[in-house]
Amino acid sequence: MLEIRELCVAYGGVSALNAISLTVNAGDFVSIVGPNGAGKTTLFKSISGSVPVRSGHITFEGRDLIAIPAHERPHLGIAHVPEGRQVFPNLTVEENLEMGAYTETGRRDWKSNLAFILNLFPILDERRRQLAGTLSGGQQQMVAIARGLASSPKLLMLDEPSMGLAPAVADSIFEAIVEIRKARNLTVLLVEQRAVEALESCDRGYVIETGRVVLEGEQNELLSDERVRKAYLGM
């Protein structure tokens, strides 16, 4: 579904992605872990089109994504939930979700998506008419994920959904992601610093460091890899 080959991105003269390659098959749940500054967010931004690519290829369902302007990419089925829970604070929960439903498929599926979202996150049902800016961090993260879902994506990209959340709240977000993946015919790409939770939730993963893939494999291969255990799992 998503094929990235030898992708290079730089900010000014400073390289952020250094010939990175990865493959995501339809229906996969792929986690990307790595330290601060490894290039995880830059990778997502290059898929959604908010940073220019210096060289390399990104193919989505056989189409050259780099040739497609950023604003058209959501209409292909790509939803990017950015880090930092960027909800619209002065809009209600429901209005935030409506903002996500601006794609053709999102409008078509609005009623069923809304029912799915409110069932997945019952607290959002209770807070439907509340301004998103008044919600707790965990609830705002639910709104951010739900807004991505409201576009009826084929590929859901989640950038550090657990950032800044208490462990129990973060766990409930991971559980929701697993549930979404099970219930919807979705491909999930997850960037996380909480490597244990990210790797335990996914099918396959990549470890990236300083803009390069240093390790890739199936979930169990990564979880049992000595380097991963030492560097990321604290074992």
List of residues contacting ligand ATP (CB under 6 A): 11, 14, 16, 34, 36-42, 193
**Least gap, CB of 40 to ligand ATP (angstroms):** 3
**Least gap, CB of 7 to ligand ATP (angstroms):** 12
**Least gap, CB of 44 to ligand ATP (angstroms):** 8
**Least gap, CB of 35 to ligand ATP (angstroms):** 7
Question: How far apart are alpha carbons 224 and 180 in whole angstroms?
Answer: 26
Q: Nearest to residue 81, comparing CAs of 1, 138, 147?
A: 147
Residue pointed to by tokens 């690519």: 53
Q: Are 97 and 130 in contact (CB under 8 A)?
A: no
- In the structure encoding, which two tokens stand for residue 220, read together? 């169990």
Cβ closest to ligand ATP, residue 41 vs residue 139: 41
Cβ closest to ligand ATP, residue 105 vs residue 210: 210
Q: Rg for the chain (alpha carbons), in Å?
A: 17
- In the structure encoding, which two tokens stand for residue 217, read together? 């494999």
CA distance to 26, 40, 52, 167, 217, per residue, from 17 (Å): 24, 9, 11, 30, 20
**Least gap, CB of 17 to ligand ATP (angstroms):** 8
**Least gap, CB of 36 to ligand ATP (angstroms):** 4
Element (H, E) at 100: helix 93-100
**Least gap, CB of 39 to ligand ATP (angstroms):** 4
Cβ closest to ligand ATP, residue 32 vs residue 146: 32
- In the structure encoding, which two tokens stand for residue 100, read together? 């996500």
Q: Nearest to residue 203, comparing CAs of 189, 213, 185?
A: 189
Cβ closest to ligand ATP, residue 77 vs residue 211: 211
Cβ closest to ligand ATP, residue 12 vs residue 234: 12
Residue pointed to by tokens 């002065």: 90
Cβ closest to ligand ATP, residue 59 vs residue 193: 193
CA distance to 97, 101, 114, 142, 207, per residue, from 125 (Å): 12, 17, 10, 11, 37
Cβ closest to ligand ATP, residue 11 vs residue 102: 11
